[in-house]
Structure 1
C-alpha cells in the first residue's frame, strides 16, 4: 500500500498587502500571483501560508506580522478573526470608506464601462457601531472550537454553540458573548436565552440529523425603543411557553414577543406561521421626511418585513435617491422591489402616483398599512414575480411611469425585467443596489437607451465590505 505524501505547505515571507477586495479579504501580489488574505489591512507586511492555489490566484492566511499598517485600529469585538461578520473591523473607518468607494468605481468602470469621473464621494455612516436594527443568532449542536476552547474543554466533549455561522461551514456556529452591531438589550437577551437553555437542559438543533428544540432567534429593534424577539423552535414541546414566559419576565421592554415552529430542513421563515405570544405583532420605526415641512414617516415592521438594517443611514440613502429623481407632483413613479413600501411611501408626498411591486405578499400588506398610517392615498401595491407582473398590460392599467426607482436583491435584475424597462422608456431610472457588480452589469444593458448621470455610493454597513450605490439613468 502506497503511503500518502504530505503536501508541503508553501510559505511566502515579507509580503506587502496592497489592496482590499470586494469579498472582504485584502490583496497582495507575489511574482504576478494575486493572493487574497483575510483579516489583514493594506500596508501590513506579513508572512503568509498558502491554503489554496489556482493558476491566477491563491488564498492564504497570515502567520506572522513584520509591520503593522498605519491604517490599523484595535478591533472592538472579542470575536474578530473568527466571526467573519466584520472583516474590516481592524481598518480605520476612513480607509474602509476609501476602499468601498474604490469598489464601486472599479465595478462600474470595469463591468459597466461607465465614465465615473463625476461620481460623488461615498457618504459614511453616522454610527460605526450599534447601527443594525436586526440580528439573527443560530443554535447548533456543533460549536466552532476556538484555541481557548481546545485548551480548556474536556477531550471528546461536544460543546454547543449559540451565535453566528462560521463562513464555509453550514453546521458550525461560533458561540457569541458580545456583538457590537446592535444596541442592548440584544446581547443581554441572547446570553439570557443561552443560560436558560443550559439550566433547563433544552436541546439545540442538529442541522445534520434534524432534531433538537432550539433553532434560531431574531432580534429587531427601532430607535423608538420598540423591540421584537422571534424565537424559532424546531419541534413542538411543553418547554416552549415556560421559556417564552421567562424571557418576557426578564425583558419587559420587549414589545413584540413571537415564536415559530419550523420543522423544515432550511431556516427561511417566509413560509412559516409566526405567532405573537405577547405584545404587538409588529414594531414601529420612524423616518424623517425628505423635506422639513412634512411630518416624519411611520413604518410598520412585521416579523417577515424587509427594512434596511441601518435605519438612520436608510434615510441618507433614500434622500439622495429622491434628490437624483427630481420628482414633481405631476409624475407617476414605479417602485420596483418595494419591500414594505419604504421608498414608495418616502417619495409619495412629492408625486402624483406611486406604484410598488414586490414578490412577498406579507410585505405588500405592510406597505399598504404604511401608506394608510402616513395618510397617503396616492400609492398602489402589487405582489408577484417582477418578471411576470411588470408587462405592457400592467403599464396600461397603472399609467406609464415618468420615473422608475429600482432596488433589487444582490443578484440584480433578470434580463426580462431589463428588457421591459427598455420598452417602457421612463424618462429617468434611479437604480439603488447593494451589489456594485450586478448593478454595473444591468446598467450596461440599460445603456442601450439610457445615459448615466449622477453616481452616489452610501455606506450602510461599517466594518464590512458591503456598500450601497445609487445610479441615475437618463433616457437618451
Structure 2
C-alpha cells in the first residue's frame, strides 16, 4: 500500500515494512509471545494490503467553511488533515472527497459537524454524520439530496437524537464454504471491518468442526459466526449484551432460514450464573437449559478478554473455540485454560495490515484425565 501520509498519520505504524516483511514480523512476534503455551505451526491468513476496511470513522477539521478529514498524528499530540485513505474500501474511497464537497456546499449540513462514519457492505453504503447541534426537518431535506445523489443511506446523529432518512442498516452477502450467508448489520452495532478476512475466519472455524452436539456461544454479536456454525450443531444457544446486535441476529436467522438458534440478550456472566443454577432469569423461562448437550463453547470476547468466572465456566466443556482481537489478553486466558486443555489449532488473521494488530483463532480440547 502506498500512502502520502506514512510517518505523519498515527494509524499505520508498520509502514516501513513491505507487506511480506510485515507478515514475517507478526508471525515472529506471536511465536515468541505464545512459545510457552504452543510450539505448533500457525495457520496464517493475509489480507489485501489496501482498500480492506469496510468500516471507518474520520474526524472532521474545519477552517472557515472548508472541511477536511482528520486523523490522529503520529506524534499522538496533534491532528493531521488528510484528503484520502488507501485503507478504506474502494467504494468509501471514491465517495469521501465528493461527499465532503457536498457537505461543505450546504450551510445546514456543514454547521457543527464533527465526524463521519462509513459502513460498506456488498449491498449498501451507509454514512452517519455526527453533530454538535440539534437536527431538524431542514437537515433532513438537505441530507436526502445527498442520499439520492450518491445512492447511499444517510443517518444524522447528535446528542440523544438519531435521524434515519431511509434505512439504518446495511445488508451483507458472504460466500463461505459453498454457501451464501446474508446479514443485516444495523448502524451503531459491531461488524467485522475486513470482509475478506471475516470470510476466512468463518471458513476456518467451520473446517475444525466434527462430532458436534450442541453449541454454546458467548459474545455472539449479530450472528456472524453463529449462523454458519448452526449447520454443524444440533442446537445453538447464543448470548450478547448489545440490544442492537441481538435485533440484528434475530433478523439474520430469518434471512438465512435458520431455526435451531436461540439468541439471548444476556451478558456472559449472567448466562454463566444461569447455567450453573446460581440464579434464575425471566428471560430464560421459555428455555429448558438442561435439555442442551453442549459439546463446544465458542467465545469471541472484547479486547479485555474473559473474566475469571467465565473462564472457569467454559472449562467444563470438551471443546473451546476462542476468537481473540488481543494477543495479550488471549495469552493471559490461555495460561489458565492450558492447565486443562491442549491447543489443537492456532490461526492468525491479519485484519489490519500496516499495523501491529492481529486477530487470532484457537481450538482447544480438554485433556484426558488418567
TM range (shorter): 0.7 to 0.9
Q: Cα distance, 1:166 vs. partner?
A: 3.3
After the TM superposition, which residues 386-405 of structure 1 pair with which residues of structure 2 at under 5 Å, given as runs? Answer: 386-391=268-273, 392-393=276-277, 396-397=289-290, 399-405=292-298
Which residue does 2:174 correspond to in 1? 287
Matching of residue 462 in structure 1 with residue 344 in structure 2: no
Matching of residue 367 in structure 1 with residue 249 in structure 2: yes
Matching of residue 139 in structure 1 with residue 48 in structure 2: no
Q: Does the residue aligned with 1:390 lie in a helix, a strand or coil?
A: helix
Unmatched segments (≥5 aa) in structure 2: 278-283
Q: Does the residue aligned with 2:231 lie in a helix, a strand or coil?
A: helix
* Partner Cα separation in structure 2 for residue 274 and residue 236 of structure 1: 10
Matching of residue 229 in structure 1 with residue 127 in structure 2: yes
Q: Cα distance, 1:369 vs. partner?
A: 0.8
Inter-CA distance 398–337: structure 2 relative to 1 (3 Å threshold): farther
Residues 344, 355 of structure 1: 8 Å contact kept = no
Of the candidates 300, 304, 311, which is equivalent to residue 195 of structure 2? 311
Which residue does 1:244 correspond to in 2? 143
Residues 182, 255 of structure 2: 8 Å contact kept = yes
* Partner Cα separation in structure 1 for residue 244 and residue 30 of structure 2: 33
Which residue does 1:302 correspond to in 2? 186
* Partner Cα separation in structure 1 for residue 247 and residue 107 of structure 2: 40
Which residue does 1:106 correspond to in 2? 32
Matching of residue 276 in structure 1 with residue 164 in structure 2: yes
Residues 177, 187 of structure 1: 8 Å contact kept = no
Inter-CA distance 340–327: structure 2 relative to 1 (3 Å threshold): farther
Inter-CA distance 310–120: structure 2 relative to 1 (3 Å threshold): same
After the TM superposition, which residues 175-254 of structure 1 pair with which residues of structure 2 at under 5 Å, given as runs? Answer: 175-200=81-106, 213-224=112-123, 226-237=124-135, 240-252=139-151, 254=152
Q: Cα distance, 1:121 vs. partner?
A: 4.2
| TM-score (normalizing by structure 1) | 0.69
Which residue does 1:123 correspond to in 2? 45
* Partner Cα separation in structure 2 for residue 197 and residue 357 of structure 1: 40
| TM-score (normalizing by structure 2) | 0.87
Residues 338, 357 of structure 1: 8 Å contact kept = yes
Matching of residue 432 in structure 1 with residue 323 in structure 2: yes
Q: Does the residue aligned with 1:217 lie in a helix, a strand or coil?
A: strand
After the TM superposition, which residues 378-393 of structure 1 pair with which residues of structure 2 at under 5 Å, given as runs? Answer: 378-391=260-273, 392-393=276-277
Inter-CA distance 79–349: structure 2 relative to 1 (3 Å threshold): same
* Partner Cα separation in structure 2 for residue 377 and residue 318 of structure 1: 19
Q: Does the residue aligned with 1:454 lie in a helix, a strand or coil?
A: strand
* Partner Cα separation in structure 2 for residue 324 and residue 376 of structure 1: 21
Residues 429, 472 of structure 1: 8 Å contact kept = yes
Q: Cα distance, 1:85 vs. partner?
A: 1.5
Inter-CA distance 451–177: structure 2 relative to 1 (3 Å threshold): same
Which residue does 2:154 correspond to in 1? 257
Which residue does 2:281 correspond to in 1? none
**How many aligned residue pairs are there?**
355
Q: Cα distance, 1:354 vs. partner?
A: 1.2
Structure with the bigger percentage of helix: 2
Residues 59, 114 of structure 2: 8 Å contact kept = yes
Q: Cα distance, 1:189 vs. partner?
A: 3.4
Q: Cα distance, 1:188 vs. partner?
A: 4.2
Q: 360-369 or 173-182, which moves further after superposition?
A: 173-182
Residues 109, 143 of structure 2: 8 Å contact kept = no
Q: Cα distance, 1:358 vs. partner?
A: 1.0
Q: 232-241 or 95-104, which moves further after superposition?
A: 232-241
Inter-CA distance 245–124: structure 2 relative to 1 (3 Å threshold): same
Inter-CA distance 326–388: structure 2 relative to 1 (3 Å threshold): same
Inter-CA distance 397–213: structure 2 relative to 1 (3 Å threshold): farther
Using CA pairs under 8 Å that are at least 6 residues apart, name the structure with larger relative contact order, 1 or 2.
Answer: 2
Q: Does the residue aligned with 2:225 lie in a helix, a strand or coil?
A: helix
Q: Cα distance, 1:242 vs. partner?
A: 4.5
Cα RMSD of the aligned pairs, angstroms, is: 2.6
Q: Does the residue aligned with 1:304 lie in a helix, a strand or coil?
A: coil
**CA offset digits 1:12-33 (Å, max 9, x no partner):** xxxxxxxxxxxxxxxxxxxxxx
Residues 338, 358 of structure 1: 8 Å contact kept = yes
The structure number with the bigger radius of gyration is 1
